[in-house]
Structure 1
Amino acid sequence: MVTAGLELFNSIKTRRSGNPNLKHYACIVDLLGRAGELERAYEFIMNMPIQPDQAVWGALLNACRLHRHVQLGELAAHNIFNLGAGSIGYYVLLCNLYSDSGKWDQVIKVREKMKEAGLVLDPGCSWVEAKGKVHAFLTGDNCHHPQAKDINVVLEGFYEKMKEAGHDGQDCGCIDDEADRSKAEMFCGHSERQAIAFGLINTAPGLPIWVTKNLYMCRSCHSLVKFISKVVRREISVRDTEEFHHFKDGECSCGDESYWEEINNKR
């Protein structure tokens, strides 16, 4: 794929119609980056005959996120921000790079820069129906819910059960260190967790739970809900912006690995 892409790119330069534009260069950086050839992608940028723009550096930053290359990703982000890019997407990519690499202190710093720049992420919100009413749960606002204590007890119980079952704490969201857990909650939101726990508390055993979310479901929440569906023996459905997830007996209808590969390619 890389060879074919480079051949096509080089063919543009041999045509009389002109030279490749910035979009063409960004495509090649993206192609090399997704193939894991990050250093080659960087060298390609440095040898460009025209000044790389935010899209070119953004393609490299996204590739660094995919392959968790923090040092090169930081360099790409530095060049993006030096060009005056105000898009929230680049900040999110950098946050994802740091969070995937376990660098939560850097996540905090990036989010502080976002606030200083006036860039605000849409808060995660999940809705669940119980006892004939629809209840909303907003990211970071669950402490004000009248059943917040009960909801947290339920979730903590599942976190402990996951650890006992041998699940990786960082991957499933049940992080041992309280500070790290707070950082993860701040970054990811996980509003569907509160909605599902509320549904478990306020509906009869065995009844299905339906949740709708305004953002896509992160992988750690996905792992947690699979686990919950197996433990409580309930069907749990979560409709996010990308997929209709139907959880039953510890499995999800989305296809797991193929779904996450598709999501990674979009981000």
Structure 2
Amino acid sequence: MRMKDKLLANVKVFKPANKSFEAFEKRFHTVMGDQLAMTDDQLRQIYDGFSPYIETSIYAEMEDVLAAIRNTYHALVNWVTEGPAKASEKHGNQSDKHSGVQTLGNHKSFSKHKQSHHPGTEEQESKDQPSRHDAIQRYMNDEKSFNQFVTHVITNYQSLPKQRIGVLVFKHEGYQHLELKLFGESFIQQYGFRTAYHLHNDLMHAFYTTFDDLLAKGTVLKSDQAIQEQVLAPVLEQFKAKIDAKAGEST
């Protein structure tokens, strides 16, 4: 039986006490009720799913459970908005490849630098809120999609936090080599700083989306080694091939 099927099977066979479930339900509505509307049956399905993995009691681990749900909610927002965002980004990236060129000789790790905040971003996000909310609710009302949501909550609860990627990636030799090539003087002079900037952003985004995709498929990432082997290594390999191909276009 696949891990995802096993996780969903647990949802159906485990029947918690009503009192514990009611405490969870009340806390969920207090913390996330204004962000994510779920029926009692949906909350019960989530509760039944993670309950077998509670080592002490729901009362002791309530905040960890809610953190897992919150993390899955953020992944869900990305799932339902990624398509429109990519289209917008593609339009915005049509610019002179040499604009903003810099010499990065002794640069620090670029991904640690603050990214600029564009005026009007918050206003646009505010305008997008209603349509995003509708997209989220359509997702939650679809049975297959909701099962994916439940699976992500359960695996997220058992896994290391996604933020662990930010610690591991800077120590990863493959990332260090790729970063040096991407922001090396040769690549910058040929393609421009902006191209390197966007490629690096794509790389970091791919780490996090790969992490979430694995959780949604039922993979538990509970160790540094698991993240390195199943998230960092394959994404770095893909991006190395992408950058090598781009560099080869001019030869």
TM-score, normalising length: structure 2? 0.28
Q: Higher relative contact order at CA 8 Å, sep ≥6: structure 1 or structure 2?
A: 2
More strand by share: 1
